Structure 1
Amino acid sequence: MTNPRWHILREDSAVTIARQLPVRFDLAVTARFAAPHPVSLTALAHQIRQDIWRALQRLRGFSPVVRVAQAGAAIAVEAGGRCAGPTGGAADRIAMVLDSPSNRQRWLAHARRRT
């Protein structure tokens, strides 16, 4: 098994989680949603990464990268990652994961508990 650790890059009001450095977005989808309460950006990024991985784990050569940033009362998310080959509709699958109201509700509830 390969190294199970994730690289967590923290900036002023943003967190990026990647398996490999340097961070590379060969494939990227952005989303923005409201976060009325303070949340742990790291916990939120990990939850999003897990769901992106579940949606794309059969995509050969895919390595997820998620960047989450606080933007006032909103959260800006950039999700995607490295791809070694053709992406074949992967952006649409990532967009579906990010746009799901039930996913967002679950992610925010988890991230609120971690603050």
Structure 2
Amino acid sequence: MTQDFDHPDPSDRPGADSGKARLSGADGPLAHAGLRPRRGWYTTETRARYTLSRHWPVVFDLVACTHLPLLRANRLARQIRQDIWRELRHLRGFSPAVEIVHEGAGLKVRAGGSLMAGAAPAGTSAQLAALLNDPERRARWCHWARIRGQG
């Protein structure tokens, strides 16, 4: 199942370059779309949503969701992305992505990524869901991404 998200498209801007999106400086075309390239990773951040992905636009061919308490989204996304990569690095053409949305007093996490080389083997979605619900990983993520002043 492929899911595209409604993020701003840099080509919608008047005068925008119609070529491929590229990493550019703070004044480049991607900065005007709310994207901040950082070391080869695209990040977008609004008050309600944080997205981390290798490619833009974000596509989830493989996706799982979970809920977590209120944490620092950028740190949480980085830790989840690293664990997803460690778990699924054997998938040819896999590119991880994480989207975190503020919901009430907590966070909804969508994690997974795109598959550029075919479909995922059977059981990969279950493997991803198990990773997101692993108590030890969740405790580590919560510790690493806690907001200052939290226990």
When normalised by structure 2's length, the TM-score is 0.67
Q: Which amino acid aligns with 1:23?
A: V
The within-5 A match list for 1:13-92 is 13-33=48-68, 35=69, 38-84=70-116, 85-88=118-121, 89-92=123-126
Question: Over the residues paired in the alignment, what is the CA RMSD in angstroms?
Answer: 1.8
Deviation at 1:73, TM superposition (A): 1.9
> Are 2:130 and 1:96 equivalent residues in the alignment?
yes
**Distance in 2, Cα, partners of 1:23 & 1:96:** 22
Residue-by-residue CA offset, 1:43-97 (whole Å, 9 max, x unaligned): 0001000001111000011000100122122220101110021201221111011
Q: Decide which structure has the larger Cα Rg and report it.
A: 2
Q: Which has the higher contact order (CA 8 A, sep 6+)?
A: 1
More helix by share: 1
Give unmatched runs, 5+ long, in structure 2.
1-37
State, as a whole percentage, how many aligned pairs show the same letter.
39
**Distance in 2, Cα, partners of 1:111 & 1:100:** 16
Question: Contact 1:40 / 1:114 at 8 angstroms: preserved in 2?
Answer: no
How many residues end up aligned between the 2 structures? 110
Could you tell me which residue of structure 1 aligns to residue 146 of structure 2? 112
**Distance in 1, Cα, partners of 2:54 & 2:107:** 22
**Distance in 2, Cα, partners of 1:104 & 1:98:** 7
Give unmatched runs, 5+ long, in structure 1.
none
**Distance in 2, Cα, partners of 1:70 & 1:96:** 22
Question: Contact 1:43 / 1:114 at 8 angstroms: preserved in 2?
Answer: no
Moved over 4 A (4+): none
